A and B are shown apart, each in its own frame.
Chain A
C-alpha cells in the first residue's frame, strides 16, 4: 500500500448483503460493493459492453452477470469471463475500519 494512496468512505459493512450488490459513487465513477464470505470487494459498476449497471444484475458464486446481455465478470478480480463484453472491469482496494468501508480512489493494477 503506497503512502500516497487516498481512500473514500463508501458505506458501513452492515449496509451490505450477501445476495445484493451495493451501488455507489467513487468520486464520479459508478462502482459496486459486493460481500462474499465476509469479505468486501469493489469493482466498476458499468458493464464494459454497453451501458448497463452490473449492480442490477445477477450474482452467482463469485461472478456477476450483466442484467442485459449476459456478460460475466469475476467479482474478486474484475476479470471479464463471458461475451459480449471483452474488457475487464477496474477493481479497487478495500479497507475496513470499525465497520466503515473505504475504497481506494485509484484502481488496482
Chain B
C-alpha cells in the first residue's frame, strides 16, 4: 500500500549533484540531478525510447543524454534531440516529478502533479534552524515502510532494543502514556517521571540523579515522525512546561517507500544544548545512530517473517494504541485516494 498524493523525501540535498542519481520511490524508478543553476530535477528513470535508465546517461549542460541511442532531454522533460532525425515527435518526453528543496532534503511528489502544493510539506525546520544543532543520515531498510512507522510510535521497545543508548527499563515500565488523535495526525505523549536516565542521556546531558523524561511523538501521514524528547532533573517542573537545566532534542524521521518490502529512511537528531559545538552534534548523532542500526536489524527480521507468513495474525497490546491509530489514518487516506482514482477514471 502506497499513498501517492503526498510529499516524500527523495534524498538529502547533498546527495544530488551533477551526477544523475537513480532511486526507486514507491516502486517507480526516479533519476535526480541538478541543473547548471543548481535546481534539483527529478525524471522518471526510463528513456521513453527503449527504457534504458537515464541515470546511466550523462549531463551536458542542462540536457540529460541517454546512454543508449543518445536521445537528449531538457530539464522540463522534453526531448530536444534525436540523433540522425530532424523531427522530434510530440510524445518524445520523459515524465518529470515536482521537486522542492527544503530543510536540507529534496522533496518529491509522486502523485497527481496538479495537487502538488509545497505549503503542505511537513515542517522539519529543526534541520536548518540556527538555534539547534542537527545531523542526519540515510538508512536503507529491508522492510515495509509501515514497520518503521510502527517502531517510532511505540517507544517501549527502547527498553529492549536500545538498552546501551536511549533505553532502560523505566522507558517501558514507568511511562504514563496519552494518545490523542485528529483526522490526519496522532500524538503519543509519554512521561517517565523521577527515573534513572538512560545511558545516552547521562553521556550528553551529564545528569547525576533521576530525571523527568518526555517523549512526545507527532505522526503525520504518510510517514513523518517528529519526536520531541528530553529530560530535566526530577521534580523541576518539566511536566508543567518548565524545561530548565536539562536537555531537549528532536528526533526527526521521514520514511519513503522504495518497494512494498524495502524503504528509504531519512533521519536526523537535533539538539537544543551546546548547539554550536560540532563535537556535541556528533556525539548526539552517534548515540542515536547506534540505536537506529539496531532498529534496522529488527525491521529486516520482521519482514523476513512477514514474507514467510504474510497472513499470520498478530497480537495487539496496550502499547499499540498509537500504532493502531496511525494505521487507521493511513488506511482511510488510502481508501480515499483509491475512491478518487475510480471517480476520475469513470469521468
Contact = CB atoms under 8 A, between A and B. Distances in A.
Contacts of A69: 316, 324
Given A67-B324, A68-B321, A56 B316 contact: no
Contact of A56 (B181, B321, B328): B321
Contact of B318 (A20, A56, A58, A70): A56
B181 A52 contact: no
A68 B181 contact: no
B235 to A, nearest CB: 20
Contacts of B328: 70
Chain B interface size, as a band, is 10 to 19
Interface string A63-82: 00001111000000000000
A69 to B, nearest CB: 7
B179 A52 contact: no
Contacts, number: 26
Interface in A38-97: 50, 52-53, 56-58, 67-70
A52 B177 contact: no
B194 interface: no
B76 interface: no
15 contacts: A52-B318, A53-B318, A56-B177, A56-B179, A56-B318, A58-B179, A58-B181, A67-B318, A67-B320, A67-B324, A67-B325, A68-B316, A68-B318, A68-B320, A69-B316
Interface of B: 177-179, 181, 316, 318, 320-321, 324-325, 328
The 5 closest A-B pairs by CB, nearest first: A67-B321, A68-B316, A68-B324, A53-B318, A56-B321
Interface of A: 20, 50, 52-53, 56-58, 67-70
